[in-house]
Amino acid sequence: MVEANESRLVKAPKEKKNKKKKNTMSQSTAVEEPQQLETNSPLVDKVLSENDDTERESGAGEHELLEDEEFVRTGNVELSNEVHGLEDQDEGVEAHQGVEESDSSEDEVAPRNTIGDVPLKWYEDEEHIGYDITGKKIKKQARKDKLDSFLAGADDAKNWRKLYDEYNDEEVELTKHETRLIRRLLKGSTPHAEVDPYAPSVDWFEWDDAKHPLSNAPEPKRRFIPSKWENKKVVEYVRAIRKGLIKFDKPKEESQFYLLWGDDSSSTDKAAHGLSYIPAPKPKLAGHEESYNPSKEYIPTQEEINSYQLMYEEDRPKFIPRRFESLRSVPAYDNALKESFDRCLDLYLCPRTRKKRINIDPESLKPKLPSRKDLKPYPITCCLEYRGHKGAVLSVSVEVTGQWIASGSNDGTVRVWEVETGRCLKIWEIGEAVHRVAWNPVAELPILAVSAGQDVLLLNTGFGNEENQVKIKELMHIEAPTAPDDSGNSPSIVSWVQHDKHDGITLKHIKSVSSVEWHRKGDYFSTVMPGDILFTSDFIALKNVRVYDLVKQKLVKKLEAGVREISSIAIHPAGDNVIVGSTEGKLCWFDMDLSSQPYRILKCHPKDITNVAFHRSYPLFASCSDDCTAYVFHGTVYSDLNQNPLIVPLEILRGHTITNGRGVMDCKFHPRQPWLFTAGADSVIKLYCH
């Protein structure tokens, strides 16, 4: 009888729920009903709690509902009347409260725009946006320009919460609650803070007294018998595989070969992760030379081993092959630990960068130079030799007409030769080594300047007509020197003395003279002593080239050659270009109108450059060195200042032999022909012609 009463109470709230749906009662009224029932009877509270559990279960069927109705009809009449009285009381309360209205802002204000499902861009160029219910156009609101909106935002602190609604053509201001919801959504949280997304799960079933599973039905027979349909499907797959309709991917076969000296798997793994990994360069692999029993051609002879000792340390081979009878006879490698340490140090300290290589034809990078055939004439072959000196020929000089050539040698003699025949015309015995000879550049004054030791001799060669000889004798005559001055002044650096033996003038210096040069007009000459320069033309060469103005006696320009030591210098006939030779084998070309730095640096000689020279009329210049070679270049200087000089190497002249470690000592061009004279340490003067 108690079960019947409880089932009747369970059915009563369901009927009440259906009645509330018909009367469209709000949810708040339905929530308040359990509170009213709780005040009336404790039994009702128990029944309602059981009713809530019954409503949560989803597996109740029609059979259970029919049983509930049957229990209601046969149940206790008193409990039924009590429940019906509560229902009547609830209906009276609901009638007074009425239906609760929705608090949504969208339900309160209807949309102003009535364009329907039409794109808003159709109204971009129109003054209105849609129509109202009477068919009149809805005018667009006046939009603020950016300056006004900026000023409004600066004055209004809440301007950042205002949004423009294009659909309704109005500004909407977000509330604080809406901004909090948006911020929580941007952070990835739930919109409402009171919601716990990780609430503990609630088990709605009580398993304390459960001794049987949810279903006591026996296992079906189909679970123990193989499926007929699965068997048919397997047969279809087998036939498709045999016919080749289904193909499987073949497994990747691992290669039988592997890297003996290293594994690149680490680099590929790092590259797969997106890292810019640069593998270290592999050391050189061992070859036949490193074998303990190499072939005979790999084993050096004793002469080759001795020649290794004369080489520089960086050029010397690191490993010398040796032969052993067996592997047990091979001794331990002395530098094994050091080389391993150096290798680890290189890998640790040396930075590695990727170099982007450009696919460019190397031939396209070479400058386009004219053909050598188009630059002829220039000296090519040796046509004549001048023999007679017994020592190294240190200097040569060509007479301005190109008819005679003078030479000075270590044997203490000065010789004058006829160019075309090679005949020696005159010989002067100086008595000590002659460092420099120089012809006067004026044809009417065939005077020869010679530097030997601390003296400079001005010799009358005797060439020319009688009038020229008379003029030369007048110039070469010096009166007897007066008594020395005892006033206490410092003695003169140079003293002029008449040389009766050679019919000339001797200039005695306090130090040895290394060079002598004439001015281009022939009325001045300069001599050079170590540390002192008595008189110079225009240029002085030390480690740098200094240009002086002789009239103002003032430094004009300083050219920085950037070499260790300058050995020779030559000036272009136009006077605006200079070439400089150094003891490093470098040839520097200076364009004085362009810069104080070299325009071109030519590394042509492996040894010291002894002299450089320009041709007076042809676009040629040459350099000679101790390596027994003379280089001939084509050098065109253009009158257009915007065009750089053209420098083209033409020929390498060989023929001299090394004597006492010296090669070609001097070189000079013929004044009128494209010929080159070279003086060698082998006491031979050579003439190279085109």
Q: How confident is the model at residue 593 (pLDDT cuts 50, 70, 90)?
A: confident
Dig out the tokens for 61 from the structure: 């069927």
Verify that 143 and 46 share a domain, yes or no. no
Residues 6+ apart with CB under 8 A from 16: 33, 87, 90
Q: Is residue 664 part of a domain?
A: yes
Q: Tell me the mean pLDDT in the region 483-496.
A: 57
In a domain, 142, yes or no: yes
Answer yes or no: do 98 and 150 share one domain.
Answer: no
Rounded to 10 deg, the angle between the 2-22 and 42-56 helix axes is: 70
Lowest mean pLDDT among 340-349, 396-405, 495-504, 665-674: 495-504
Query: Is the pLDDT reported for residue 469 higher than 70?
Result: yes
Q: Do the domain assignments include residue 258?
A: no
H helix runs in 129-172, sequence order: 146-155
The encoded tokens of residue 657 equal: 């032999």
Higher-pLDDT residue of 216, 484: 216
User: Tokens at residue 475, please?
Assistant: 């110039």
Q: How would you write 474-488 as a 3-class SS string?
A: HHHCCCCCCCCCCCC
Give 33-58 pLDDT, tens digit per residue: 333 333 333 333 433 344 444 344 33
pLDDT digit string (tens) for 59-89? 333 433 333 333 333 333 343 343 334 344 4
Q: Give tens-digit pLDDT for 552-591.
A: 888 888 888 888 888 888 888 888 889 999 888 888 988 8
Which CATH number characterizes residue 509's domain?
A: 2.130.10.10
- Sheet with 455-460, side-by-side order of all strands: 434-439, 447-452, 455-460, 504-509, 494-499
Q: How far is CA 48 from CA 38, 55, 604, in A?
A: 9, 10, 113
Rounded CA separation 194/172 (Å): 27
Q: What is the pLDDT of residue 212?
A: 65
470 pLDDT higher than 70: yes
What is the separation, in whole angstroms, between the first and last Cα of the chain? Answer: 144
Tell me: the pLDDT tens digits for 615-651? 998 999 999 998 889 999 998 888 887 788 888 889 8
The amino acid at 443 = A
Q: Is residue 13 predicted with pLDDT exceeding 90?
A: no
Q: Is position 314 within any domain?
A: no
Which residues are bridge partners to 416 per DSSP?
406, 426
pLDDT of residue 230: 93
pLDDT higher than threshold 90 for residue 232: yes
Please say which residue of 187, 202, 217 terminates a domain: 202
Q: Does 457 map to a domain?
A: yes
At 137 the pLDDT is 85
What is the distance between the alpha carbons of residues 31 and 37, in angstroms, rounded to a whole number?
11
Instruction: Give this prediction's pTM.
Output: 0.49
The C-alpha angle 541, 542, 546, rounded to 5 degrees, equals 50
Element (H, E) at 106: helix 105-108
> Is residue 322, in this structure, part of any structural domain at all?
no
Q: What pLDDT score was predicted for residue 517?
A: 85
Four-point Cα dihedral 678, 680, 682, 685, nearest 10: 30
pLDDT on residue 99: 39
DSSP summary character for residue 537? S
Nearest to 662 by CA among 680, 679, 637, 650: 680
503 vs 685, residue with greater confidence: 685
Q: Which residue has the higher pLDDT, 528 or 237?
A: 237
Alpha carbons 284 and 80: distance in angstroms, whole number: 104
Q: What pLDDT is recorded for position 632?
A: 92
Query: Residue 308 contacts by C-beta under 8 Å, 6 or more apart in sequence?
Result: 300, 316, 317, 320
Comparing 72-76, 112-116, 661-665, 680-684, the range with the smallest average pLDDT is 72-76
Whether residues 447 and 553 share a domain: the answer is yes
Dihedral over Cα of 671, 676, 681, 682: its sign: negative
> Both tokens of residue 352?
């590695």
For CA atoms 327, 332, 334, 340, the dihedral sign is: positive
Which has the higher per-residue pLDDT, 346 or 99? 346
How far apart, in whole angstroms, are the C-alpha atoms of residue 17 and residue 66?
A: 18
**Cα atoms in the 13 Å half-sphere on the side-chain side of 378:** 23
Q: Is residue 71 part of a domain?
A: yes
Cβ pair 603, 617 in contact under 8 A: no
User: Is the domain of 10 the same as that of 139?
Assistant: no
The region that residue 407 occupies, defined by phi over 0 for left and psi between -120 and 50 for alpha, beta otherwise, is beta
Whether residues 541 and 403 share a domain: the answer is yes
In terms of Cβ atoms closer than 10 Å to its own Cβ (0-12, 13-18, 19+), residue 286 is exposed
pLDDT score of 425 more than 70: yes
264, 280, 352, 353, 592 from 273: Cα distances, Å: 15, 18, 19, 19, 58
pLDDT at 4 over 60: no
As a whole-number percent, the residues of the chain with pLDDT over 90 amount to 10
Residue 14 has a pLDDT of 39
Residues 141 and 190 in one domain: no
Residues 602 and 574 reside in one and the same domain = yes
Q: Considering only CA atoms, which of 646, 634, 536, 631 is closest in space to residue 581?
A: 631
Mean predicted lDDT score pLDDT of the chain: 75
Same domain, 151 and 180: no
Q: How confident is the model at residue 5 (pLDDT cuts 50, 70, 90)?
A: very low
Residue 348, in any domain of the structure: no
Strand-pair category, 676-680 with 137-139: unpaired
Omega within 30 of 0 (cis) for the link into 377: yes
Q: Do 76 and 163 reside in the same domain of the chain? A: no
Distance CA 626, CA 657 (A): 10
Does residue 349 carry a pLDDT above 60? yes
**Per the structure, how many domains does the chain have?**
3
Map tokens 């650096």 to a residue. Answer: 493
Instruction: Give per-residue pLDDT as tens, 115-174.
Output: 767 787 888 888 888 787 888 888 887 777 888 888 888 888 888 888 888 777 788 888
Q: Which pLDDT score, from 0 to 100, does residue 565 have?
A: 85
Higher pLDDT, 214 or 232: 232
The reply to whether 462 and 525 lie within a common domain is yes
**Is residue 313 scored above 70 in pLDDT?**
yes
Number of Cβ within 10 Å of residue 361's Cβ equals 7
Whole-number Å distance between alpha carbons of 183 and 191: 9
* Shared domain check, 154 and 97: no
Residue-range definition of the domain harbouring residue 148 = 112-174
Domain identity same for 67 and 158: no
